[in-house]
Amino acid sequence: MTGPARSPVLDHLARWLRQRGELGSPQFVLETMDEAEARALVARVLEEGALEKGRGGVAAPPVPRTPEPAPAPPSRPPPTTSRAPSAEEDSGSGAGPGEPLPQLPSDHEELRTLCLDCTRCGLSETRTQVVFHDGNPGARLMVVGEGPGANEDRTGRPFVGRAGRYLDLLLASVGLTREESVYICNVVKCRPPGNRNPRPEEIEACAPYLRQQIAIVQPEAILAVGTFSAQLLTDSSIPLGRLRGEIHAWEGIPLVVTYHPAALLRNSGWVQPTWEDLQLLRQILDGSDSHGH
């Protein structure tokens, strides 16, 4: 990534990484990212940084929204490894509070359109907009976070704040970008007010959308970031620290769980294990490469 004459954009990247280091995130390995990818990533980071400045000064202080360790998990819908009722089976008429969902479309755009009008839980009353996904529905990797924060609620895109930029860097460090190779969504699609944790009934109401997103995208691997996502997708109440570091499965799709990027901003001790989890993920993707995907 370095050349004899460093361009301003790479200087920006170096500065950005130094700042991350000062904030306690000392380890970034960017060897798999080529210069074009680095440029695209830095342009995006700078553009969003400028937007943040425009709104209120220098980058906001780290306000991780995912507590680690996590609370007890909700009474979640079973994962499809243990055969959850599918979105199709979860059929009924209408999608108001507490009502069963109608049969969910198997077309991504139709599913998104349906979800944008969802009123299945109380979060629909306080949201600005539904945050359905970002990235490529044909992606190799699906990243599942917890739920939208203020920036996401405002823009309609998941992971656009500080945690999102951190996530982009982590993904870039193993050669993945949301533009091409990653599809990003959340356990709950609407912002919990004041960034509180999503409630069990909210997670349950939203889970059919996530199940259907996975069924449509059919990624080669899933990365669950943070406790809510990890516990939902592994159908477990085991703390994240004990779930990470191994390969789980969701309906036969390899699943890696790791710390939420917002938690990394708060606790640099989790950077190294996260890096190891990303390596595991890379190995899965490299393995599926060699198996003809």
Task: Please tell me the total number of residues recorded for the chain in this structure.
Answer: 293
User: 281: closest CA among 236, 237, 224, 238?
Assistant: 224
Cα–Cα distances in Å, from 186 out to 11, 28, 30, 79, 207?
33, 24, 26, 16, 10
Residue 155 makes CB contacts below 8 A (sequence gap 6+) with none
Contact 220, 249 (CB under 8 A): no
Output 41 or 167, the one with its CB closest to ligand URA: 167
- Binding interface with ligand URA (CB under 6 A): 65, 145-149, 152, 158-159, 163-164, 186, 226
Whichever of 114 and 262 has its CB closer to ligand URA, that residue is: 262
Nearer to ligand URA, 66 or 181 (CB): 66
- Number of Cβ atoms within 10 Å of the Cβ of 11: 11
Nearer to ligand URA, 38 or 213 (CB): 213
Give the nearest distance from C-beta 91 to ligand URA in angstroms: 28
Q: Which residue, chain included where needed, has tokens 């951190």?
A: 166
Cβ nearer to ligand URA, comparing 155 with 181: 155
Rounded-to-integer distance, Cα 44 and Cα 46, Å: 5
Q: Which helix (H) or strand (E) holds 100?
A: none
CB of 211 to ligand URA, least distance (A): 18
Shortest Å distance, C-beta 129 to ligand URA: 12
Measured distance CA(247)–CA(255) in Å, rounded: 6
| Residue where the block lists tokens 């990484």 | 17
Question: Rounded to the nearest whole angstrom, what is the least distance from the CB of residue 287 to ligand URA in the complex?
Answer: 27
Distances (CA, A) of 115 to 40, 88, 149: 30, 15, 18
Q: Which residue's CB is nearer to ligand URA, number 146 or number 220?
A: 146
**Of 77 and 147, CB closest to ligand URA:** 147
What's the min distance (Å) between Cβ of 93 and ligand URA? 30
Q: What minimum distance in Å lies between the beta carbon of 66 and ligand URA?
A: 6
Beta pairing class for 141-145 and 134-135:
unpaired
With tokens 């507590």, the residue in question is: 67
We find the least distance from the C-beta atom of residue 263 to ligand URA, in angstroms, to be: 10
